């Protein structure tokens, strides 16, 4: 069985020179900051819901407009086809 030997001289100088830094834990967030963040988050959520509602309404309006245009065009196309067909008879 091979035995592994270790000595400080066999360690690379790069590893010996490496330092390890430990950061102290972050201080707890002050209560005022926490409340302010929650209030800002609530306002942002409310504004986002208003934007979402406006976009949803706009999307519905566009869908209705497109549907009306397609319905009108289909009606016009059917009338034209009937008239052209009648004219060719």
Residue-level pLDDT, tens digit, the chain, 89 residues: 455 554 555 555 555 555 656 676 666 767 777 778 888 888 888 888 999 999 888 888 888 887 787 777 777 777 777 777 776 65
- CA atoms of 75 and 64, how far apart (whole Å): 16
* CA–CA gap between residue 46 and residue 38 (Å, rounded): 12
* Confidence at residue 10, expressed as pLDDT on a 0 to 100 scale: 56
One-character DSSP codes across 46-65: HHHHHHHHHHHHHHHHHHHH
Place of tokens 């834990």: 25
Per-domain boundaries in the chain: 51-89
């Amino acid at each position: 069985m091979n035995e592994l030997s270790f000595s400080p001289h066999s360690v690379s100088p790069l590893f010996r020179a490496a330092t390890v830094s430990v950061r102290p834990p972050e201080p707890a967030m002050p209560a005022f900051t926490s409340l302010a963040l929650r209030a800002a988050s609530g306002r942002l959520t409310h504004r986002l819901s208003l934007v979402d509602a406006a976009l949803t309404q706009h999307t519905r309006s566009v869908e209705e407009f497109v549907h009306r245009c397609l319905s009108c065009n289909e009606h016009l196309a059917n009338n034209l086809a009937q008239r052209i067909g009648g004219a060719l008879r």
